[in-house]
Structure 1
């Protein structure tokens, strides 16, 4: 399969699917700006009312959509130059969403290079939830109790993921010696939180203000987690010593979500995870056409190509996490990670 990526890439280049789609991102950006303006207007007009929680939920959805744009800018999908994309990604991530672009970029780059590979993909490292039997077996105390039922608890735990993303980003900026744009991002994040928190706690009663922020963070966390989890969780885990060609590694560890345009809008293009991993700088509107090329190539060459419904993907994730969770409390040496592709 060493030549597979070159062959598919050639077809993709000839069809022009790597060209920019500025019109699309102008439309999305404008739509999100109008939506955000609507939430601000609604917040002002509603005043001291528990209906503000609807505004909080809407804000969580909008911020997730902005995070999708930050993700695309970081992959150089939106603007014509790399530096311009990176500046846009930093503004959107830190200044609007409130998470560190530097932290996310360093983590996400490693993930793209080694998806689902033990010891190399930070997205399968333990963070309350265990994605590997060895990590589940090492869990203790409260984490062990959670791990045993982590599949069923996965979505409830995502209500805390928004808060976790903010925390991990700030922690990286404060403690990491390699944090890029440290002071710029800390300044943007501080300004962003001031713009959000000051009006909320000035205009709403204290209890309602905390409820507003709780709902916003919960919706943001669930939406983010529910969009990223179906992509790789429950797909083959690669042994740390395994050697796979780029095409096989990316296709075999990724899962697409059926649904067409509505899934693309809902998940910010992450529903075409296979194509995104093969062509990370491909703009969102072109991924569906790339899917046809990649899927046909895989079918002709007997390469497993995984695609399922959104609901089925969640069922797979829950089943996988519950299966991993069975190792909680066991001797870690009795539960080695399964090397699904063998050793080189």
Structure 2
């Protein structure tokens, strides 16, 4: 597949980078996470290890065990948001080996940092919400996430059952999707670069390590049934938490879904404006949510500056908003997380209807959204 091309003009992006660089120079700050992020990483990692050890070697009662497995899944997702994500983007630390160490937390959890870099950093961040290219939109046949995807009868109810498939994300990711990418040599229809011997060793070595830590050892210490229940709870909570945070960033009512020109493969907007149109923020004033999700509620800032740590996103938010106001670019943001969830549900509901319903008047759409918002208030 020929990769899409963005508009040649980069005036918006160039001015945005100039203002952002000026901010860091004037503030005398590094673009990486610093001690604040290191402390958070140590806290989350210590919590994960403590809960894991208690579950595996001290075997709590059934009810407490299920609760701890759910907590383990949530902490694991938080490590993904805060530690792995910044590390994979090279923004956790100035030192490359520390970034690699942070990124490798994904390998310990059962994923693969090489595949994540290909899928997330290189494809998703470059071609966000571009149909046929951004693999994050591909949940077929179970879910229809963009208007260009075929509609099936079951999609009529996807706004009701989506949570089930979101809960399956992590277990499908580590036991199926990584291997699919490995053996196909593609992510969707986009080829991935050839893996080196080191990449191969990391892929298979950590897959075996994960099976040992999260399958073999717990079965040995707790028994098969207890492990199976706990493992499924752990995976479901981690999968749903990861899914919902990332989906609120791109698959909501106000974000754009782009189809490149059929022959030229060109996209109308320059890259930076494309990122703003295809991305949305949520609950940026909520410090607890911001802390837990690693600043990924500032998704616009992250997509424009993925190599800058999330600890700086509140400051960048002001710069980008001002730029959008000056250039007449719509900035998508939901003031509360529940509003973003409501918009995601409304988006799924709309896509689950007949294709003709997409042509309904905007006032009708606003009325439906208003009803959904009231449901979450």
Q: Name the TM-score, length of structure 2 as normaliser.
A: 0.79
Are positions 1:208 and 2:226 aligned together?
yes
Partner of 2:92: 78
What stretches of structure 2 of length at least 5 have no aligned partner? 1-8, 186-191, 262-266, 360-377
Partner of 1:342: none
Alignment equivalent of 1:15, drawn from 5, 9, 23:
23
Alignment equivalent of 2:104, drawn from 81, 85, 91:
91
Matches within 5 A, 1:1-344: 2-16=10-24, 19-43=31-55, 44-47=57-60, 49-68=62-81, 69-82=83-96, 84=97, 87-95=100-108, 97-108=109-120, 109-127=122-140, 128-137=142-151, 139=152, 144-145=153-154, 147-166=155-174, 167-176=176-185, 178=193, 180=195, 181-234=199-252, 235-241=255-261, 242-258=267-283, 259-308=285-334, 309-327=336-354
**Which string of whole-angstrom CA distances, capped at 9 and with x for unpartnered residues, describes residues 174-219 of structure 1?**
4428463123122112112201222321222432221101100100
The answer to whether the 8 Å contact 2:86/2:103 transfers is no
* C-alpha separation in 1, matches of 2:94 and 2:72: 29
The answer to whether the 8 Å contact 2:103/2:113 transfers is yes
**Which string of whole-angstrom CA distances, capped at 9 and with x for unpartnered residues, describes residues 273-303 of structure 1?**
1111111111111011000111122123321
> Cα offset for 1:306?
1.0
* C-alpha separation in 2, matches of 1:168 and 1:89: 22
Aligned residues: 324
The answer to whether the 8 Å contact 2:88/2:117 transfers is yes
CA gap 1:299/1:90 in 2 versus in 1, 3 angstroms: closer
> Cα offset for 1:49?
3.1
Q: Name the TM-score, length of structure 1 as normaliser.
A: 0.86
- Bigger mean CA deviation after superposition, 60-69 or 121-130: 121-130
> Cα offset for 1:87?
2.9
CA gap 1:36/1:220 in 2 versus in 1, 3 angstroms: same
